[in-house]
């Protein structure tokens, strides 16, 4: 019998008020992985009410004590890492070694934010008046709505929930319906670590039914969303009309640049990992490879040879290099870009088809795909495909490579391979993305540095590192006058 899970509202595990449920299947096998509440507005309002009531006492708990709860949660995540990683692979498909990395990122973020309980610094500054003290402190925003995708179902929620909690906010968490078990594992861990009732609330369900209610409710003070550009823009409009702050992370069209002095073996490793890791279902995936003309043909040939050797399969199988895509809709979307690329004049060098024979027949598999002969304005070089597909673009110079890299509507991650330190630093300065890698792929961000991008990737906020504290806190400036008389700042006496 399929295991049944519940929402977590006000410290209790409960079914949806309507009694409705949905099932999630393993994208590699089609087998059910769990049954979950299909929540509606009533369930969301109950969760928001619990978060609102809990926030009054949670914000008063000393921040170091809040951090201690997160530290216990990190220890529990570490203890259960292998089990959580297997659950993650079963529900969204990424290979097990990558799933372990997903859980490890949640562990790292939770440890990091636990420490911020003792480092949520404000500022002190001299006053311009005598006998007067001036300082600033951070205050929590209030109730935070966290809406997260399926591709990093432990890591991305931890980027939002952990800084929100340590700074004194309470949370209503809506995960993707395609990775619900990982959300359950994360929230169950926080419960076991001692999070008070109502501080974290988990509501499963569809975006239209759950996400919209979270966004529109007046008792939710901030929305933190990671997902598609199309949905993110709609949320931005809603929040603008409501006067509600919103943090958006909305994807990328990332490129690796390979110059003619690069270590081609190293660059090949970086492209394979960045283009086909997580089956290309990363906002930081390298779906473009910009190669200098003198090494283009050699690099393209070697990349195709490496790509053709990648093994598709169930992510729990140690022999698998590339797992399934998350669902049938995503499989069809990726497949549609094959005709688009060909119609624009790109050459399909390898892959380019679904794989549904033998042990793969019940899953959502797409062959790792390389296009050659792409040009910068082709749709396959401009639009986020979110699958195991990359396109090679020929350029003559570093300057042209930078222009091509920056010539898309997204600005999340970029990479350059070169042995010339002068070229590397010129690229770091000129590449207009939130993340820049030198002699590494476009993936591999660490939790203690800001994560996010420019242009269509986001709206200026950053996740991870101390930058995350800016999203989840308000600055409060405090002036203490002990002169015993009225002092008029900026007024000449």
Which tens digits make up the pLDDT trace of 71-128? Answer: 999 999 999 999 999 999 999 999 999 999 999 999 999 999 999 999 999 999 999 9
Q: What share of the chain is helix, strand, coil (3-state, %, to 5)?
A: 40, 25, 35
Among 183, 163, 181, smallest CA distance to 173 is for 183
Which tens digits make up the pLDDT trace of 11-69? Answer: 999 999 999 999 999 999 999 999 999 999 999 999 999 999 999 999 999 999 999 99
Q: Residues of CATH 3.40.309.10 domain(s) within the chain?
A: 254-438
Q: Residues of CATH 3.40.605.10 domain(s) within the chain?
A: 7-250+458-478
Query: How far is residue 139's CA from residue 136's CA, in Å, rounded to a whole number?
Result: 10
Average pLDDT in the chain: 97
In the block, tokens 């369900």 appear at: 205
CB 411 within 8 A of CB 252: yes
If one counts every other C-beta atom within 10 angstroms of the C-beta of residue 488, the result is: 8
Q: Which CATH class is domain 7-250+458-478?
A: alpha beta
Q: Hey, which residues are catalytic here?
A: 249, 283
User: To 10 degrees, the CA torsion angle through 48, 136, 476, 173?
Assistant: -20
Q: What is the mean pLDDT of each run of 10 residues along the chain (493 residues)?
A: 95 97 96 97 98 98 98 98 98 97 98 96 96 97 97 98 98 98 98 98 92 96 95 95 96 97 98 97 97 98 98 96 97 98 98 92 97 98 98 98 98 98 98 98 95 94 95 97 93 71
Identify the bridge partners of residue 350 per DSSP, sorted by sequence position. Answer: 370
CATH classification of 254-438, choosing from 3.40.1180.10, 3.40.50.2300, 3.40.50.300, 3.40.309.10? 3.40.309.10
């Amino acid at each position: 019998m399929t295991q049944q899970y519940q929402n977590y509202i006000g410290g209790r595990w409960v079914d949806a008020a309507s009694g409705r449920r949905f099932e999630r299947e393993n994208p590699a096998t089609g087998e059910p992985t769990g049954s979950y509440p299909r929540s509606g507005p009533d369930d969301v309002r109950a969760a928001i009410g619990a978060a609102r009531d809990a926030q009054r006492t949670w914000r008063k708990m000393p921040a170091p004590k809040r951090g201690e709860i997160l530290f216990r949660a990190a220890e529990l995540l570490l203890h259960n890492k292998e089990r959580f990683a297997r659950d993650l692979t079963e529900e969204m498909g990424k290979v097990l070694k990558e799933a372990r990395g997903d859980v490890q990122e949640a562990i790292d973020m939770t440890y990091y934010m636990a420490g911020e309980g003792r480092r949520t610094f404000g500022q002190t500054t001299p006053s311009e008046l005598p006998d007067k003290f001036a300082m600033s402190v951070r205050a929590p925003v209030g109730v935070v709505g966290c809406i997260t995708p399926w591709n990093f179902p432990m890591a991305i929620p931890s980027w939002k929930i952990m800084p929100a909690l340590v700074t004194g906010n309470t949370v209503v968490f809506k995960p993707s319906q395609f990775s619900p078990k990982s959300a359950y594992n994360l929230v169950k861990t926080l419960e076991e670590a001692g999070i008070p009732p109502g501080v974290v609330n988990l509501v499963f369900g569809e975006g239209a039914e759950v996400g919209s209610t979270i966004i529109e409710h007046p008792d939710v003070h901030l929305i933190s969303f990671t997902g598609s550009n199309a949905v993110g823009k709609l949320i931005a409009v809603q929040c603008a009309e409501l006067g509600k702050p919103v943090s958006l992370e909305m994807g990328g069209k990332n490129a690796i640049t390979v110059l003619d002095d690069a270590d081609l073996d190293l660059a090949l490793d970086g492209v394979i990992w960045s283009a086909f890791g997580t089956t290309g279902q990363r906002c930081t995936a390298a779906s473009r490879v910009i190669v200098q003309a003198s090494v283009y043909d050699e690099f393209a040939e070697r990349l195709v040879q490496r790509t053709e050797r990648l093994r598709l399969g169930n992510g729990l199988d140690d022999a698998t290099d590339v797992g399934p895509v998350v669902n049938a809709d995503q499989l069809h979307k990726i497949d549609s870009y094959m005709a688009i690329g060909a119609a624009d004049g790109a050459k399909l060098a390898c892959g380019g088809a679904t794989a549904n024979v033998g042990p793969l027949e019940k899953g959502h598999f797409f062959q790792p795909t390389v296009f050659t002969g792409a040009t910068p304005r082709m749709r396959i070089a401009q639009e986020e495909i979110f699958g195991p597909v990359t396109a090679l673009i020929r350029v003559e110079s570093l300057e042209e490579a930078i222009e091509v890299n920056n010539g898309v509507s997204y600005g999340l991650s970029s990479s350059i391979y070169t042995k010339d330190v002068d070229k590397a630093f010129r690229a770091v300065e000129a590449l207009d993305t939130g993340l820049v890698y030198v002699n590494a792929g476009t993936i591999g961000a660490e939790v203690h540095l800001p994560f996010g991008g420019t242009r269509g990737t986001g709206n200026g906020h950053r996740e991870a590192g101390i930058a995350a504290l800016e999203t989840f806190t308000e600055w409060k400036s405090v002036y203490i006058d002990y002169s015993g008389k009225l002092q008029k700042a900026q007024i000449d006496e």
